[in-house]
Structure 1
Amino acid sequence: MFLGMSNLMLGQNVSGVVKDDTTQPVPGVSVVVKGTTVGTTTDFDGNYAINANNGDTLVFSYVGYETQEIEVSSSILNVTLQSGVALDAVVLTGNRSKPRTILDSAVPIDNIGLEEMRNTGQPTIDKMLTYKVPSFNSSTQTISDATAHFDPADLRGLGPSRTLVLVNGKRKNQSALVYINDTPGKGEVGVDLKSIPAAAIERIEVLRDGASAQYGSDAIAGVINMVLKKNVEYTTVNVKSGVTTEGDGFNFGVDLNTGLSGDNGGYLNVTAGYYEQEKTNRPGTPGTDVLIGVEAGDPTWGSWLADNPDLGMTVGQPELKKLDLFFNAGIPFKNDSGEFYTFGGVTTRQGKSFALYRAPYWVGDPHNLLHEAGTDYNGFQPTFETDVLDNNLTAGVKWNMFNFDVDFSGTYGRNRIDYDVNNTLNIDLGANSPTEFGVGGYTFSNSLANLDFSRSLGQVNVAFGAEIKQENFSARAGDAASYYNPTGNGGAQSFPGLQPSNAVRADRHNYGVYGDLEWEPSDALLIGGAVRYEDFSDFGDNVSWKVSGRYSLGDKGALRASYSTGFRAPSLHQIYLSNVQTLVSGGSISNQGTFNNVDPIIREDLGVPQLTAETSKNISAGITYKIKSNLSVSADFYNVKVDDRVLFTGEIGFDGDDASTNPVETILIANSITSLKFFVNAVNTNTTGLDLVVNYTNIDLGEGRLNATLAANFNETTIEGEIDTPALLEANGYNIFNRKEQSRITSSRPKSKILLGLDYNINKWNFILNNTYFGEVSWQHANNGLNGADLGNGPLPLDDAAFDQTFAGKVITDLIVGYEFSEKISANISVNNLLNVYPDEIDTKGDFVTDLGGRFKYPWEVNQFGFNGTVLNASVAFKF
């Protein structure tokens, strides 16, 4: 799937050095034989070597410099690049036939280098992208079980499931986790972006357009391709550390990147890294517990509430320890007739987050399991601990056959999660209860084989290929003690273990074939088209197609547009997931059951249809324009319609009518649960938006140079038509997707995000000032604040969203200062969230469910940028 650049041609070895207009060597410059996929990049000293013939044209391009095309006339070719703009950066994503610049591409693509990502001051890839790509969002979650350790991420507000992630152009496996808690992305499955270390990445290409016709399922919102480092001149060690101004959240990390290169063009790049972070805590301090019904003046517990106004809560980022090991390697065949390549890595991390604090009046400890005999019992806060293992490996061969570039590869990826719930107990086990429980876990893996062909035929570029994929999903039961529940108390407090009935091993396979054609009848006009057929063993087949066009405005820019259809296969997780989860609903503690889509209770008793693929229609149109050589602007309009979107229903429970029992309540009683949920195709959405990027680079300012970037995304998602509710549930008056769940799709992510970045270099100093505006988000009450609520003016009218809240947009300012002590030693200090900005505080408006009785000070079901406040970081990099 990935048409990487390798030495496949016969000819002479052309080499040289690339420098800028100040005679400094430029590392990382892309050098491509025009009209082919043959290419390389310059090393840290600006050196390059490539196989080409006399008369061939070499294209030299790099972000911030004008692209140069030079005809080969000798074996030595030195080049000087002039200051330019990012429109000339070469990208590979979205182009099956040959690399193109952002200026030449028919679809919008961001090209982000490693230094740009690190200059955000953020610790992980998902957070780096949040502060570099306006349409990308990911924020730290809290009190949300395993979701707190993955942080759902998405493009264009379309949910984690609809962004395809590639590594070196090969599909990255999804995580094993379904986000089932009340967070953005609820009910979705994404890729574990924390499992890819930034130190291993050369650049990230973000395709902001539907691409299912080229890459298959999941590419509805776009594609993120992470290109790994290949040739490096130095071994680099980077050490970093930081802490919040509140004195918590201490973090420490170290990473090493090194490489070997052979005279024949072979390479081996290796990255190793370690990162850890401590928890932060920003709880509410209600001093009273209306959730359980214990007031501040309670004669028994009033003193405990006075001593523990935060109700014992820990609300903030989880603890984390992470270890990475990645590699990227290639070995050319003799006579440069092809290349064997392989890359992959393994990440292991352990995390600890926290559940709701069990106050002493809520859960007792009569056998002194969690406190010493003779001491006052103050309750306990269970911990939710994860052990995540993510590994992937790709191996392949590239060669030339009948003038076609051929790429044959195999990929295996796996993500495994094991859960432990500690510092808790199972009431039903009495004095024999453990205080630590293994509560089960999940594993997802995929195996792929890809065969791709491409060829340039003058004005026509053609590509075609095939893919076979096998997916596996398994759920493992927890310790018997974790789910032992004879009296209905729920098993292990905070998270009852997965039961043997929840354990599952499921698999499916699919195959796909595609064709891709580009025609350039003139230098100005490019017309492209792609079609892909996929067949899945569990739900059937799909055909997706795409047409695109670009009209060049010479060296000034281009007009571009595309229209495509797409699809997303329901994940195996969404089909087979089942569990019982403890939650707070309507002021009471209850057990909620998730039933999978193949359960007879769901399919036969409730009449829920089999899950099938979502389908989409995606249109985009835009312009890129160079106002002058170092000032450019691009604007892209888009509209994405998704039909039959897979959703995770809201809580379906007792209807409050004690006089009779309906069919749903019969199921609840039989399974000892108070509510149930399931997955179903039931919603159509319409997303409209605008992406805007302005780059003004290499501005002479005093003795230094200033680069400025303004990037913005504006979007609006609406739900079209009626929710497709199964007939039995509709007949009994159930709303399977209430206002709160709908707002999770339409308003839990910012509808606008604006980034303004200033980067000033003077002598050995580098000053970066980033301002990121996160637009407002909204939380909506599940039933509009009804159920007989009275705020002093009589019962609420039906159209009064009394308990809803909109959290205002805020600007986060980051300051990074760097200094180069020498060519091999540099350091920087960053202050993230310089002005200590927090989200608006929750206003319950009389509804304690909104903030769980004051336990949360800041919004958690909708989340713009987290609530850690100011973070101070420092790092030192060594090259040797």
Structure 2
Amino acid sequence: MKKHTLNKVVVALLASYSLVGIAPVNAQEEQVAPDTDNTEKIAVVGARGAPRSVGTSPVPVDVLSVEDIEGVAFSDLNDVLKTLVPSYDLSRQPISDGATFIRPATLRGMPTDKTLVLVNGKRRHRSALVQIGGSGTQGPDLATIPSAALGSVEVLRDGAAAQYGSDAIAGVINFQLKENTEGGTFSAEYGQFFEGDGDSITIGGNKGFALGEEGFLSVSLEYNDSESTSRGEQYCESWFCVDPSLEGFNPDAGYAQNVTPEFLAAAQEMGRRVHGADVVQPWGQPNSEAIRVFVNAGYDISSSMSWYAFTNYTSSEGDGSFFYRYPFNSVMQDIRLQDGSIWNPLEIYPGGFTPRFTGEIEDYSFATGLKGTTEGDLTYDLSARYGYNEIAYTLANTINPSLGDASGTEFNPGTLSNEEMQIQADFLYDISDYTLAFGLSYLDETYDIAEGQLESYIDGPYAKADPWGFCSENAPTTAGLAVIANGSTLDCANPDDAVYQVMAVGSNGFPGYSPEFSESYTRDSYAVYADISGDITDDLFAQAAIRFEDYSDFGSEVVYKLAGFYQATESTGIRASVGTGFRAPTPGQQGTTNVSTRLPNGTPVAVGLFPAAGPVAQALGADALDPETSTNFTFGVTSALGDLNITLDYYLILLEDRVNAVSTRNVSADPTAGAAYDNFLALQAAGVVGAESIGGVNYFQNAFDTKTSGIDFVVTYGMDSDYGDTMFTGSLNYNKTEFDSDPSAFLNAENQFDFENGTPTMRGVFSAKHSYGDIQGLVRVSYYGDYENVESSAADSDIQKFDPEFFVDIEGTYFFTDTLSLAVGVRNLFDNYPDPSELGGDSCCGRIYRSDSVVDWQGGYYYTKLVAKF
């Protein structure tokens, strides 16, 4: 894998908490001893004004400390959150275009574009990737944030659009950066899976500096290099089998007589050369490498004014594989060249080929502002931020079939980028026992699709039958007679002659972005909000918020929220909230275009995703996208009984006009194919190049309404004894999403079933951390409930039920000194895997486990980690 050097680092002085809880600039040096006390954690998000304890917050909030984050053996923050927050789910999709590198996640059953991500209380910019399936999620890439930079993470599990803005339908995740003026940390971690692959090394560090006597500069850096894994088996299906000795080999298949030892040797050599394994199509995590830098700074200009800023730069690269193109499939067909001879892509790839997909991600941002208090006790926070994320794709080990023998084998399909600029002003004013918060913001967004390399999208001569005019009315033309005279076997009267073969257009696996679908999508918006909160009585805290937002492409909307906390007894509190939300589809969701090759039943099919408001989708009956709206309800109980703390929260999210990709509309150039042929004619009329080679089309729509309900249960207990200190933590989430309108016009029966049943409704995380002298031990158990998947219909015979699964993590740490420790641990100690997939579509092509499952299928992993604090 290509090794990165950091050729650009955006370094600027930066820092800060937002007005959502202003903290002193001169933060204390972080604690170096193991943390096992039972101090109640303080939440910044959830209620404006003075921060509140988790137990008295009017809405449920998880606060993850540095120790919590360091106790998880992952470098990707997505995996850290998945491990620690049960209502946060994450899947790995090894063959899913850009989702191979930026994985889709959910909070409370909602996609990540329904969760607002903040850094130091400021909105984090989105990634350039729009997930091409499901909801078309376009959210921030959490993997760009190094864990070494974090002081804490707050996860607000409640709708908060009226407080923080669009996207906060499911909740808010706020990453608070370190503010140390001195000292720092250094860590080095190495790990490997039980299978002997997926070697990973992570080196990270943080160093704090004083800016004079009144400021701080905290610099964090992280480097990670993770190798790929393979959890599949050799490709052996009824339509083609790489190894005839395998059980799935079909000697009666049409290809069998052509599977010579030379073919098999060439296929296995391709696997070793491209993937480093005998299998021609691996299933697992991709290779990845990243370097991440975050800088956070602040300075007290005076006793009443502070300056802050923070910036980041991330450069990462990953590469994975697409489906194996076996010999004799529709891509590997005979064509007639200009001299009348026969040519087949097997001359380039004698054992077939597996396209190799690479994504290079560049991400940087800068935010700065002034905050302080006027003589009239008005607190202000004036800020500006800029964020940019770019993904540049490369496709190798493939061809553009329509170019025939003139095709190259490596292509640059294009570049996606997302750019945001925001100016914001926030104010706080105390009125007796109440805090009035108000503010306004302006946001400008641009999503850009940059044209790919010409050869990656061009329709070459073989995109149509008889490109050289050899035949006319089943008889040879003058040109045809000439090549016959030179020895060609051309037979115009034979409809199966290679002269009539039509080949797919574009770099196979991921055709490039053509000029017709390469453009920029821009919009701007502004918002005004007001929020009042305070203690109505000694026992009752209440909060009310209202927000007005106006989008240049979707008009305006007003949303609100009411929340409260009542201290019923000395140890028990009751909290509740109700609120509305509004989420405008992003410019990326409105404009993204993608044509990718999929292999249902082993047959390569090009499936195109087109903008809902564009001519292609409109020709197929699509409507332009509208905003999503939501109503959220929560009700909870909190209890503090000595060292035992308990919270129990019920939630209900009603989401209307939910954006989702429609089930693929079949396309066929066969006049007898009915609706599929009508779709083909519509594509032709819309000017789609290579419509003959497209087998399916989909697009995003406001497809249906949903109802998501669930329960969060969190309990913590701290225990001190002569044998050490122990902290027990248990978190349990039940979540169920159902349709609240008829989706049948947009989703087929299989997609409807999997939408409601395809993920576990129950998730739990239970841990115990014990410290005794210089030794600290951690045991964590993660639980996933059962779930179901269907093959093609809702018939019982097509449904597979997946059993519950437990994963056990253990870690032991020895502290040589107060500042030097060594940890050794195992993730998934018992090497557990989810049930193998028994359904044809989810188990084909060498796949053993359902590859998009939120239940991890990589197996056990062991690691060691050295940490030095100074």
* TM-score tier (shorter): 0.7 to 0.9
- The corresponding residue for 1:101 is 53
Percentage of matched positions with identical amino acids? 30
Residue 300 of structure 1 pairs with residue 286 of structure 2: no
**Unmatched 5+ residue regions in structure 1?**
9-29, 48-61, 65-82, 726-735, 785-798
- The corresponding residue for 1:841 is 836
Q: 1:555, CA displacement in angstroms?
A: 4.7
**1:45/1:713 Cα in 2 relative to 1: closer, same or farther (>3 Å)?**
closer
**1:464/1:654 Cα in 2 relative to 1: closer, same or farther (>3 Å)?**
same
Give the Cα separation in 2 of the matches to 1:521 and 1:757: 38
SS at match of 2:588: helix
| 2:361 maps to amino acid | V
Q: 1:658 aligned to 665, 668, 672, which one?
A: 672
| 2:640 maps to amino acid | K
Query: 1:550-597: CA deviations, max 9, x gaps?
Result: 111455242100000111111111111123221123553222222212
| 1:43 maps to amino acid | E
SS at match of 1:130: helix
Give the Cα separation in 2 of the matches to 1:5 and 1:575: 33
Q: 1:703 aligned to 716, 723, 740, which one?
A: 723
SS at match of 1:333: strand
Give the Cα separation in 2 of the matches to 1:199 and 1:3: 15
**1:338/1:724 Cα in 2 relative to 1: closer, same or farther (>3 Å)?**
farther
SS at match of 2:125: coil
Give the Cα separation in 1 of the matches to 2:235 and 2:719: 53
Q: 2:766 aligned to 756, 771, 776, which one?
A: 756
SS at match of 1:126: helix
**1:601/1:205 Cα in 2 relative to 1: closer, same or farther (>3 Å)?**
same
SS at match of 1:850: helix
SS at match of 2:84: coil
Residue 452 of structure 1 pairs with residue 426 of structure 2: yes
- Higher helix proportion (structure 1 or 2): 2
**1:704/1:365 Cα in 2 relative to 1: closer, same or farther (>3 Å)?**
farther
TM-align CA RMSD: 2.9
Q: Size of the alignment, in residue pairs?
A: 780
Give the Cα separation in 1 of the matches to 2:166 and 2:80: 25
**1:744/1:475 Cα in 2 relative to 1: closer, same or farther (>3 Å)?**
farther
SS at match of 2:841: coil
Aligned positions of 1:503-518 closer than 5 A: 503-518=518-533
Residue 382 of structure 1 pairs with residue 386 of structure 2: no
**1:659/1:843 Cα in 2 relative to 1: closer, same or farther (>3 Å)?**
closer
Aligned positions of 1:786-797 closer than 5 A: none
Q: 1:864, CA displacement in angstroms?
A: 2.3
Q: 1:421, CA displacement in angstroms?
A: 0.3
- The corresponding residue for 1:793 is none
Q: 1:531 aligned to 539, 546, 549, which one?
A: 546
- The corresponding residue for 2:557 is 542
Give the Cα separation in 1 of the matches to 2:806 and 2:678: 50
Shifted more, 36-45 versus 478-487: the winner is 36-45
Q: 1:63, CA displacement in angstroms?
A: 8.7
Q: 1:231, CA displacement in angstroms?
A: 1.4
Q: 2:170 aligned to 221, 244, 256, which one?
A: 221
Q: 1:805, CA displacement in angstroms?
A: 1.9
| 1:617 maps to amino acid | T
- The corresponding residue for 1:165 is 117
Q: Tell me the TM-score normalized by structure 2.
A: 0.85
Give the Cα separation in 2 of the matches to 1:4 and 1:234: 19
| 1:349 maps to amino acid | S
- The corresponding residue for 2:812 is 817
Q: 1:476 aligned to 420, 435, 450, which one?
A: 450
Shifted more, 364-373 versus 742-751: the winner is 364-373
Q: 1:807 aligned to 802, 806, 813, which one?
A: 802
- The corresponding residue for 2:739 is 719
| 2:28 maps to amino acid | T
Residue 738 of structure 1 pairs with residue 748 of structure 2: yes
- The corresponding residue for 2:594 is 579
Q: 2:615 aligned to 597, 600, 613, which one?
A: 600
Give the Cα separation in 1 of the matches to 2:230 and 2:581: 42
Shifted more, 743-752 versus 468-477: the winner is 743-752
Does structure 2 retain, via aligned residues, the 8 Å contact 1:174–1:190? yes
- The corresponding residue for 1:631 is 644
| 1:839 maps to amino acid | P
Q: 1:509, CA displacement in angstroms?
A: 0.3
**1:669/1:230 Cα in 2 relative to 1: closer, same or farther (>3 Å)?**
same
Aligned positions of 1:408-419 closer than 5 A: 408-419=382-393
SS at match of 2:752: helix
Residue 640 of structure 1 pairs with residue 653 of structure 2: yes
Q: 1:118, CA displacement in angstroms?
A: 1.8
Residue 426 of structure 1 pairs with residue 400 of structure 2: yes
Does structure 1 retain, via aligned residues, the 8 Å contact 2:26–2:214? no
Residue 354 of structure 1 pairs with residue 321 of structure 2: yes
Give the Cα separation in 2 of the matches to 1:3 and 1:521: 34
Does structure 1 retain, via aligned residues, the 8 Å contact 2:169–2:581? yes
Does structure 1 retain, via aligned residues, the 8 Å contact 2:298–2:306? yes
Query: 1:258-277: CA deviations, max 9, x gaps?
Result: 01124633110001111010
**1:189/1:388 Cα in 2 relative to 1: closer, same or farther (>3 Å)?**
same
SS at match of 1:299: helix
| 1:518 maps to amino acid | S
**1:90/1:318 Cα in 2 relative to 1: closer, same or farther (>3 Å)?**
same
**1:801/1:501 Cα in 2 relative to 1: closer, same or farther (>3 Å)?**
farther
Give the Cα separation in 2 of the matches to 1:45 and 1:813: 28
Query: 1:322-343: CA deviations, max 9, x gaps?
Result: 0111101001113x12101000
Give the Cα separation in 2 of the matches to 1:663 and 1:776: 41
| 1:649 maps to amino acid | V
- The corresponding residue for 1:851 is 843
More RCO (CA 8 Å, sep 6+): 2
- The corresponding residue for 2:28 is 42
| 1:398 maps to amino acid | K
- The corresponding residue for 1:394 is 367
- The corresponding residue for 2:775 is 765
Q: 1:386, CA displacement in angstroms?
A: 0.3
Shifted more, 363-372 versus 524-533: the winner is 363-372
Does structure 2 retain, via aligned residues, the 8 Å contact 1:291–1:588? no
Query: 1:670-715: CA deviations, max 9, x gaps?
Result: 5312221111112100001000001011342x52111111110001
**1:591/1:5 Cα in 2 relative to 1: closer, same or farther (>3 Å)?**
closer
SS at match of 1:103: helix
Does structure 1 retain, via aligned residues, the 8 Å contact 2:236–2:846? no
Query: 1:60-114: CA deviations, max 9, x gaps?
Result: xx996xxxxxxxxxxxxxxxxxx545xx311111222221111221000000012
**1:654/1:432 Cα in 2 relative to 1: closer, same or farther (>3 Å)?**
closer
Give the Cα separation in 2 of the matches to 1:387 and 1:668: 32
SS at match of 2:599: strand
| 1:720 maps to amino acid | D
Q: 1:305, CA displacement in angstroms?
A: 6.3
Q: 1:490, CA displacement in angstroms?
A: 3.2
Does structure 1 retain, via aligned residues, the 8 Å contact 2:15–2:297? no
Give the Cα separation in 2 of the matches to 1:120 and 1:287: 37
Q: 1:4, CA displacement in angstroms?
A: 6.1
Query: 1:205-239: CA deviations, max 9, x gaps?
Result: 00000000011111010000000000154221111
Give the Cα separation in 2 of the matches to 1:138 and 1:459: 42
Q: 1:345, CA displacement in angstroms?
A: 0.3
SS at match of 1:674: strand
Give the Cα separation in 1 of the matches to 2:758 and 2:674: 37
Does structure 2 retain, via aligned residues, the 8 Å contact 1:266–1:329? yes
Q: 1:660, CA displacement in angstroms?
A: 5.4
Residue 115 of structure 1 pairs with residue 67 of structure 2: yes
Give the Cα separation in 1 of the matches to 2:584 and 2:390: 21
| 1:475 maps to amino acid | I
| 2:427 maps to amino acid | F
Aligned positions of 1:317-336 closer than 5 A: 317-334=285-302, 336=303
| 2:418 maps to amino acid | F
**1:368/1:251 Cα in 2 relative to 1: closer, same or farther (>3 Å)?**
farther
SS at match of 2:750: helix
Give the Cα separation in 2 of the matches to 1:817 and 1:801: 46
| 2:90 maps to amino acid | S
- The corresponding residue for 2:414 is 440
**1:63/1:551 Cα in 2 relative to 1: closer, same or farther (>3 Å)?**
farther
**1:364/1:84 Cα in 2 relative to 1: closer, same or farther (>3 Å)?**
closer
Aligned positions of 1:608-623 closer than 5 A: 608-623=622-637
Does structure 1 retain, via aligned residues, the 8 Å contact 2:613–2:622? no
Q: 1:138, CA displacement in angstroms?
A: 1.3
Give the Cα separation in 2 of the matches to 1:241 and 1:355: 28
